[in-house]
Amino acid sequence: MEVLFVGKEWRFRNELKKELFRYINYDKIEYINSFDISFKPDEDTLIVTNSQTYPLVTRIISTILNQNPVIKDNQLVPENAKYSKNSFLVKIEGFEINVILLENDVPEIFIITPEYELINIFNMDKDTAKMLIEPILSPRKIDYILIENEGSFLELYTEPLDNKIKKEILNAIPFIIFGNIFKHIIKHLPPKKITFAESCTGGLIASTLTKYSGSSDVFDGSVVTYANRIKHEWLGVSMDTLNRYGAVSEQTVKEMLLGAIEISKANYAIAVSGIAGPTGGTPNKPVGTVYIGVANEKELKVELHHFKGDRNYIQYQAMMNGIRMFINFSKLYSKDID
């Protein structure tokens, strides 16, 4: 299957693209700025559009099919297309063409692709991980994709694996988590709890965790402290710290961590403060400067990051690095096969 990205805005949308690639199995990717009536597929194709390119692509596909573009459930689709929200499926010259509008979430994808196995690998560079994985998967002729994600850890994608192979991987690489990391936290952290003190991420970490059933077992609540006054009044960050070092600083994040644990009585906290942009940067602290910390009742750790990309992508990178820090800090790796 070919994946065709239409438009000029995909450079810094990697978080969405990688989320999309978790659902599909592709053999070719192409980026084009324009789309016209000359489109002729030579295989099943997923056409990925944004809000600017979706209407044009839909009208051109309708013209190729000799169909009228019509409004159904508040979206434009070819009149005879199979569709759901932000996604429609048609056939052109015998090939399935699935057009999706990729904005904030991955919509339903009609082109059926194989299930996959996701294994998250921590504390290891890509070359080392490949060296350990190859002897397990290659003799079995199991293809895989190994990528470094936004959280600075690795993701291994393969076909579904049986428990024997999973155990071999676990024995070779002990710092791993099978499957969705947030679901893993929900399943394996109890009876301990986690809380968040978020500034530039605006509640993204809490929102993402609570998308999953059972999150109340590990999460009672957290705070979004955007303004300095709220950091001071809610989390107890001293005004001296804020005035001397600024809200985006290691010192402030340390005090945010301590305040979050104090008010929530949680066992762990993640805190984030940074400049997500596109404004607010300075020569000393440009856009993308983010401090991320993790703590328990006895110790804490803070990292400084300089992320690239648009506002949403910087926020996403901050969240994923916070989760990576928490996994390593708590050592909440997979101990066995669930």
Position 153 scores a pLDDT of: 96
Cβ–Cβ under 8 Å, residues 270 and 201: no
Is 201 found in the same domain as 171?
Answer: no
At 238, the amino acid letter reads S
Position 281 scores a pLDDT of: 95
Backbone angle region of 74, left / alpha / beta, with phi > 0 → left and psi within -120 to 50 → alpha: left
At 239, the amino acid letter reads M
Position 114 scores a pLDDT of: 63
Could you tell me the pTM of the whole model? 0.74
Of 316 and 267, the one with more pLDDT:
267
Q: What is the pLDDT of residues 256-270, one digit of tens each?
A: 999 999 999 999 999
Distances in whole angstroms, Cα of residue 57 to Cα of each of 52, 60, 91: 10, 5, 15
State the average pLDDT over residues 171-188.
96
Query: Which residues span the domain enclosing 274?
Result: 183-330
Is 154 found in the same domain as 59?
Answer: no
CATH number assigned to the domain comprising residue 160: 3.30.70.260
Q: Kindly write down the DSSP assignment for every residue of 123-176, as one continuous string.
A: S--HHHHHHHHHHHHGGGT--EEEEE-TTSSEEEEES---HHHHHHHHHH--SE
Whole-angstrom distance, CA of residue 14 vs CA of residue 201: 17
Is 143 found in the same domain as 52?
Answer: no
What does pLDDT average to over the chain? 93
Model confidence at 191, in pLDDT bands (50, 70, 90)? very high
Q: What is the pLDDT of residues 222-234, one digit of tens each?
A: 999 999 999 999 9
- Whether 338 maps to a domain, the answer reads no
* Percent of residues, the chain, with pLDDT higher than 70: 98
To the nearest 10 degrees (0 to 180), the angle between helices 250-264 and 228-235 is 40
